[in-house]
Amino acid sequence: GLSGQPHSGPDIGGFAGNATPRLFGRWMGIRAVFPFCRGHSETNTIDHEPRSFGEEPASVLSSRPSGMIPFLNILLYNCIALVGLPA
């Protein structure tokens, strides 16, 4: 990536506080533009994992196109395996 860190991404749902099911679904929807991201949260909050939010995140995700994922995987592979340089 432009930052020189091709394998980086955000904590899905944010780290502090509790995300709503809809907000968590939207966070999961932007995962397509990051090579890596994870659900992560601070102590004493809801786990930021899809199973913690019921069906709503799945319905938000199913409406998102995922056609860029193979392309982004190729870019990540090129950055790390072939040249070791940022894209």
Q: pLDDT tens across 53-86, in order?
A: 888 777 766 666 667 677 777 877 877 777 665 5
Judged against a pLDDT cut of 70, whether residue 87 lies above it is answered with: no
User: How far, in Å, are 6, 34, 52, 67, 75 from residue 46 at the CA level?
Assistant: 29, 23, 7, 30, 33
pTM of the complete model beyond 0.85: no
* Tokens matching residue 40: 């992560």
**Burial bucket for residue 13 (CB in 10 Å: 0-12, 13-18, 19+):** buried
Amino acid 23 reads: L
pLDDT confidence of residue 47: 82
Span between the terminal Cα atoms of the chain, in Å: 5
* Tokens matching residue 14: 């944010």
